[in-house]
Amino acid sequence: MSSILKYAAIVLYAAAFAVILWRTYGPNSNEQNHKRGMMIFAWTVGCLLHAAYLYPQTFTAQGLNLTFYNSVSIVCFMVAILVLCVSTTRRTDFLGILVLPIAVASIVLTVLKPEVAASSLNLHGLQLHIVVSLFAFSVLAISALQSILLFTQDRHLRRHQLGGMTRALPPLHDTEKFLFQTIAVGFILLGIALITGFLFLENMFEQHVAHKTILSILAWVVFALLLWGRWQFGWRGTSAMRWTLAGFGFLAFAYLGSKFVQELILHRVITIPVT
Protein backbone atom coordinates (compact mmCIF):
# COMPACT_ATOMS: atom_id res chain seq x y z
CA MET A 1 0.00 0.00 0.00
CA SER A 2 2.84 2.37 0.86
CA SER A 3 4.42 1.83 -2.56
CA ILE A 4 1.15 2.61 -4.31
CA LEU A 5 0.71 5.84 -2.35
CA LYS A 6 4.19 7.16 -3.00
CA TYR A 7 4.17 6.42 -6.74
CA ALA A 8 0.64 7.77 -7.13
CA ALA A 9 1.68 10.99 -5.34
CA ILE A 10 4.63 11.33 -7.69
CA VAL A 11 2.37 10.88 -10.73
CA LEU A 12 -0.19 13.43 -9.48
CA TYR A 13 2.45 16.02 -8.60
CA ALA A 14 4.03 15.52 -12.03
CA ALA A 15 0.62 15.91 -13.68
CA ALA A 16 -0.03 19.18 -11.83
CA PHE A 17 3.43 20.41 -12.85
CA ALA A 18 2.75 19.50 -16.49
CA VAL A 19 -0.51 21.47 -16.44
CA ILE A 20 1.27 24.51 -14.99
CA LEU A 21 3.80 24.35 -17.82
CA TRP A 22 0.94 23.92 -20.30
CA ARG A 23 -0.82 27.00 -18.90
CA THR A 24 2.42 28.99 -18.86
CA TYR A 25 3.88 28.20 -22.26
CA GLY A 26 0.98 26.71 -24.22
CA PRO A 27 -0.29 28.66 -27.25
CA ASN A 28 -3.96 28.27 -26.34
CA SER A 29 -4.54 30.78 -23.53
CA ASN A 30 -8.37 30.86 -23.69
CA GLU A 31 -8.92 27.75 -21.56
CA GLN A 32 -7.06 28.90 -18.46
CA ASN A 33 -9.92 28.19 -16.02
CA HIS A 34 -10.31 24.62 -17.28
CA LYS A 35 -6.57 24.04 -17.14
CA ARG A 36 -6.38 25.53 -13.63
CA GLY A 37 -9.12 23.21 -12.43
CA MET A 38 -7.15 20.22 -13.70
CA MET A 39 -4.02 21.50 -11.99
CA ILE A 40 -5.76 22.12 -8.64
CA PHE A 41 -7.34 18.65 -8.71
CA ALA A 42 -4.05 16.87 -9.45
CA TRP A 43 -2.17 18.97 -6.90
CA THR A 44 -4.79 18.38 -4.18
CA VAL A 45 -4.92 14.61 -4.68
CA GLY A 46 -1.13 14.52 -4.83
CA CYS A 47 -0.93 16.29 -1.44
CA LEU A 48 -3.48 13.88 0.07
CA LEU A 49 -1.52 10.88 -1.17
CA HIS A 50 1.73 12.42 0.05
CA ALA A 51 0.19 12.91 3.50
CA ALA A 52 -1.13 9.34 3.56
CA TYR A 53 2.35 8.08 2.69
CA LEU A 54 4.11 10.33 5.23
CA TYR A 55 1.87 9.61 8.21
CA PRO A 56 3.05 6.04 8.97
CA GLN A 57 6.59 7.08 8.02
CA THR A 58 6.53 9.86 10.62
CA PHE A 59 4.47 8.46 13.49
CA THR A 60 6.18 5.15 14.15
CA ALA A 61 6.05 2.69 17.03
CA GLN A 62 9.53 3.88 18.07
CA GLY A 63 8.53 7.55 18.10
CA LEU A 64 8.35 10.61 15.89
CA ASN A 65 10.57 10.08 12.84
CA LEU A 66 12.28 13.38 12.02
CA THR A 67 15.32 11.93 10.31
CA PHE A 68 16.89 13.85 7.42
CA TYR A 69 15.07 12.32 4.45
CA ASN A 70 11.73 12.20 6.20
CA SER A 71 12.11 15.80 7.40
CA VAL A 72 12.82 16.94 3.84
CA SER A 73 9.66 15.20 2.66
CA ILE A 74 7.59 16.69 5.51
CA VAL A 75 8.80 20.21 4.71
CA CYS A 76 8.14 19.74 1.00
CA PHE A 77 4.64 18.47 1.75
CA MET A 78 3.97 21.48 3.99
CA VAL A 79 5.25 23.87 1.32
CA ALA A 80 3.10 22.18 -1.33
CA ILE A 81 -0.07 22.25 0.78
CA LEU A 82 0.50 25.86 1.95
CA VAL A 83 1.01 27.11 -1.62
CA LEU A 84 -2.06 25.16 -2.74
CA CYS A 85 -4.22 26.63 0.04
CA VAL A 86 -3.06 30.20 -0.63
CA SER A 87 -3.69 29.72 -4.37
CA THR A 88 -7.45 29.51 -3.68
CA THR A 89 -7.45 33.25 -2.91
CA ARG A 90 -4.27 34.45 -4.66
CA ARG A 91 -2.53 33.69 -7.93
CA THR A 92 0.27 31.69 -6.34
CA ASP A 93 -0.05 28.43 -8.27
CA PHE A 94 2.86 29.60 -10.47
CA LEU A 95 5.11 28.61 -7.54
CA GLY A 96 4.32 25.02 -8.47
CA ILE A 97 6.96 25.37 -11.19
CA LEU A 98 9.53 25.06 -8.40
CA VAL A 99 7.54 23.47 -5.56
CA LEU A 100 6.19 20.38 -7.32
CA PRO A 101 9.48 19.01 -8.74
CA ILE A 102 11.06 19.44 -5.30
CA ALA A 103 8.11 17.62 -3.69
CA VAL A 104 8.57 14.73 -6.13
CA ALA A 105 12.31 14.60 -5.34
CA SER A 106 11.53 14.53 -1.60
CA ILE A 107 9.35 11.43 -2.00
CA VAL A 108 12.06 9.75 -4.03
CA LEU A 109 14.54 10.53 -1.22
CA THR A 110 12.37 8.74 1.35
CA VAL A 111 12.29 5.73 -0.97
CA LEU A 112 16.07 5.66 -1.42
CA LYS A 113 17.00 6.56 2.17
CA PRO A 114 19.51 4.33 3.96
CA GLU A 115 18.54 2.52 7.16
CA VAL A 116 19.66 4.45 10.24
CA ALA A 117 19.91 3.64 13.92
CA ALA A 118 17.89 5.87 16.24
CA SER A 119 18.20 7.05 19.81
CA SER A 120 15.52 8.69 21.96
CA LEU A 121 14.99 12.16 23.35
CA ASN A 122 12.39 13.10 25.94
CA LEU A 123 9.87 15.49 24.45
CA HIS A 124 8.71 17.47 27.50
CA GLY A 125 7.44 20.68 25.82
CA LEU A 126 9.15 20.29 22.47
CA GLN A 127 6.00 19.47 20.48
CA LEU A 128 5.16 23.17 20.05
CA HIS A 129 8.76 24.01 19.14
CA ILE A 130 8.88 21.27 16.49
CA VAL A 131 5.56 22.24 14.88
CA VAL A 132 6.32 25.99 14.81
CA SER A 133 9.84 25.34 13.49
CA LEU A 134 8.49 23.24 10.62
CA PHE A 135 5.94 25.91 9.74
CA ALA A 136 8.55 28.68 9.92
CA PHE A 137 10.93 26.74 7.70
CA SER A 138 8.16 25.93 5.20
CA VAL A 139 6.88 29.52 4.96
CA LEU A 140 10.39 30.91 4.53
CA ALA A 141 11.13 28.22 1.94
CA ILE A 142 8.14 29.57 -0.01
CA SER A 143 9.64 33.05 0.32
CA ALA A 144 12.99 31.83 -1.02
CA LEU A 145 11.36 30.15 -4.03
CA GLN A 146 9.21 33.19 -4.67
CA SER A 147 12.20 35.52 -4.53
CA ILE A 148 13.80 33.50 -7.33
CA LEU A 149 10.69 33.77 -9.49
CA LEU A 150 10.35 37.47 -8.63
CA PHE A 151 13.92 38.08 -9.79
CA THR A 152 13.25 36.13 -13.00
CA GLN A 153 10.05 38.07 -13.63
CA ASP A 154 11.77 41.41 -13.05
CA ARG A 155 14.61 40.47 -15.43
CA HIS A 156 12.17 39.39 -18.16
CA LEU A 157 10.24 42.65 -17.83
CA ARG A 158 13.43 44.69 -18.08
CA ARG A 159 14.33 42.80 -21.26
CA HIS A 160 10.78 43.21 -22.59
CA GLN A 161 10.25 39.44 -22.69
CA LEU A 162 6.50 39.48 -22.13
CA GLY A 163 5.50 35.94 -23.10
CA GLY A 164 5.57 32.59 -21.33
CA MET A 165 6.26 32.88 -17.61
CA THR A 166 5.94 36.67 -17.54
CA ARG A 167 2.45 36.41 -19.01
CA ALA A 168 1.39 33.74 -16.50
CA LEU A 169 2.69 35.49 -13.38
CA PRO A 170 0.71 38.12 -11.46
CA PRO A 171 1.75 41.79 -11.77
CA LEU A 172 5.22 42.44 -10.35
CA HIS A 173 3.83 44.66 -7.57
CA ASP A 174 1.47 41.89 -6.37
CA THR A 175 4.22 39.26 -6.50
CA GLU A 176 6.57 41.48 -4.52
CA LYS A 177 3.88 42.34 -1.96
CA PHE A 178 3.10 38.66 -1.36
CA LEU A 179 6.82 37.91 -1.01
CA PHE A 180 7.22 40.34 1.88
CA GLN A 181 3.98 39.15 3.47
CA THR A 182 5.30 35.58 3.55
CA ILE A 183 8.65 36.80 4.87
CA ALA A 184 6.89 38.68 7.68
CA VAL A 185 4.84 35.60 8.63
CA GLY A 186 7.91 33.35 8.49
CA PHE A 187 9.90 35.88 10.54
CA ILE A 188 7.27 35.84 13.30
CA LEU A 189 7.06 32.04 13.28
CA LEU A 190 10.85 31.75 13.41
CA GLY A 191 10.93 34.09 16.40
CA ILE A 192 8.34 31.93 18.20
CA ALA A 193 10.34 28.80 17.32
CA LEU A 194 13.48 30.33 18.84
CA ILE A 195 11.65 31.35 22.01
CA THR A 196 10.08 27.91 22.50
CA GLY A 197 13.46 26.31 21.79
CA PHE A 198 15.13 28.30 24.54
CA LEU A 199 12.26 27.47 26.91
CA PHE A 200 12.20 23.72 26.34
CA LEU A 201 15.78 22.73 25.48
CA GLU A 202 17.42 21.89 28.80
CA ASN A 203 21.01 21.73 27.54
CA MET A 204 21.54 22.65 23.92
CA PHE A 205 25.19 21.54 23.98
CA GLU A 206 24.38 18.03 25.16
CA GLN A 207 21.61 17.81 22.57
CA HIS A 208 23.99 18.89 19.77
CA VAL A 209 21.92 21.92 18.74
CA ALA A 210 24.20 24.85 19.63
CA HIS A 211 25.22 25.39 15.99
CA LYS A 212 21.58 25.02 14.92
CA THR A 213 20.51 27.70 17.40
CA ILE A 214 23.25 30.12 16.32
CA LEU A 215 22.45 29.70 12.62
CA SER A 216 18.71 30.11 13.28
CA ILE A 217 19.38 33.34 15.17
CA LEU A 218 21.51 34.58 12.27
CA ALA A 219 18.64 33.75 9.88
CA TRP A 220 16.21 35.67 12.11
CA VAL A 221 18.56 38.68 12.15
CA VAL A 222 18.91 38.61 8.35
CA PHE A 223 15.13 38.58 7.86
CA ALA A 224 14.76 41.33 10.47
CA LEU A 225 17.24 43.50 8.53
CA LEU A 226 15.45 42.72 5.26
CA LEU A 227 12.06 43.77 6.64
CA TRP A 228 13.64 46.89 8.13
CA GLY A 229 15.32 47.71 4.81
CA ARG A 230 12.02 47.24 3.00
CA TRP A 231 10.27 49.57 5.44
CA GLN A 232 13.00 52.23 5.57
CA PHE A 233 14.51 52.13 2.08
CA GLY A 234 12.00 50.22 -0.04
CA TRP A 235 14.35 47.35 -0.83
CA ARG A 236 13.10 45.24 -3.71
CA GLY A 237 14.25 43.25 -6.73
CA THR A 238 17.79 41.88 -6.56
CA SER A 239 18.39 43.20 -3.04
CA ALA A 240 15.27 41.47 -1.72
CA MET A 241 16.22 38.21 -3.44
CA ARG A 242 19.77 38.22 -2.05
CA TRP A 243 18.68 38.94 1.52
CA THR A 244 15.88 36.36 1.33
CA LEU A 245 18.16 33.64 -0.01
CA ALA A 246 20.86 34.54 2.55
CA GLY A 247 18.40 34.26 5.43
CA PHE A 248 16.96 31.01 4.16
CA GLY A 249 20.47 29.70 3.54
CA PHE A 250 21.31 30.13 7.24
CA LEU A 251 18.04 28.43 8.17
CA ALA A 252 18.59 25.54 5.75
CA PHE A 253 22.07 24.96 7.16
CA ALA A 254 20.66 25.16 10.68
CA TYR A 255 17.95 22.58 10.13
CA LEU A 256 18.73 20.35 7.17
CA GLY A 257 22.49 20.92 7.13
CA SER A 258 22.68 19.97 10.80
CA LYS A 259 20.65 16.83 10.22
CA PHE A 260 22.72 15.90 7.17
CA VAL A 261 25.99 16.10 9.11
CA GLN A 262 24.71 14.36 12.23
CA GLU A 263 22.86 11.54 10.49
CA LEU A 264 24.69 10.85 7.24
CA ILE A 265 28.23 11.73 8.29
CA LEU A 266 28.36 11.23 12.07
CA HIS A 267 25.58 8.58 12.07
CA ARG A 268 23.94 10.19 15.10
CA VAL A 269 20.14 10.05 14.76
CA ILE A 270 17.48 11.12 17.26
CA THR A 271 13.94 9.78 17.23
CA ILE A 272 11.54 11.67 19.49
CA PRO A 273 9.04 9.44 21.32
CA VAL A 274 5.40 10.52 21.09
CA THR A 275 4.05 11.18 24.61
**pTM tops 0.85, yes or no:** yes
Lowest mean pLDDT among 155-169, 186-200, 227-241: 155-169
Number of domain units in the chain: 2
Considering the chain, what percentage of its residues have pLDDT values greater than 70?
81
Residue 32 has what pLDDT?
A: 57
27: exposed, middle or buried (Cβ count in 10 Å: 0-12, 13-18, 19+): exposed
What are 56-112's pLDDT values in tens digits? 888 877 767 788 888 999 999 999 999 999 988 877 888 899 999 999 999 988 877
User: Helix 172-200 crosses helix 210-233 at what angle (to 10 degrees)?
Assistant: 140
Evaluate whether residue 249 is within a structural domain: yes
Question: Is the same domain home to 40 and 148?
Answer: no
Residue 31 has what pLDDT?
A: 53
How confident is residue 207, by pLDDT bands cut at 50, 70 and 90?
A: low
Q: For residue 12, what are the domain limits?
A: 1-63+94-113
pLDDT at 120 over 50: no
Rounded to whole angstroms, how far apart are CA atoms 52 and 41? 17
Question: Is the same domain home to 151 and 108?
Answer: no
Given the DSSP bridges, would you call strands 119-120 and 270-271 parallel, antiparallel or unpaired?
parallel
What are 8-35's pLDDT values in tens digits? 999 999 999 999 888 777 655 545 556 7
pLDDT at 184 over 50: yes
Buried b (16+ CB within 10 A) or exposed e, 241-258: bebbbbbbbbbbbbbebb
Average pLDDT in the 192-202 region? 83
Question: Is the same domain home to 27 and 103?
Answer: yes
Average pLDDT in the 200-205 region? 63
Cβ–Cβ contacts within 10 Å for residue 100, how many?
Answer: 28
- Where does residue 67 fall: left (phi above 0), alpha (psi -120 to 50 degrees), or beta otherwise? beta
Evaluate whether residue 79 is within a structural domain: no
Question: Is the same domain home to 103 and 122?
Answer: no
Question: Is the same domain home to 34 and 139?
Answer: no
Residue 9 has what pLDDT?
A: 96
Question: Is the same domain home to 123 and 221?
Answer: yes
Q: Which of 57-61, 173-177, 186-190, 198-202 has the highest mean pLDDT?
A: 186-190
Question: Is the same domain home to 215 and 245?
Answer: yes
pLDDT at 130 over 90: no
What are 218-254's pLDDT values in tens digits? 999 999 999 999 998 888 878 889 999 999 999 999 9
Average pLDDT in the chain: 83
For Cα atoms 145, 39, 96, give the angle at the middle one, nearest 5 degrees.
5
Question: Is the same domain home to 11 and 134?
Answer: no
Task: Give the residue among 30, 195, 208 at the shortest CA–CA distance from 119.
Answer: 208
Evaluate whether residue 86 is within a structural domain: no
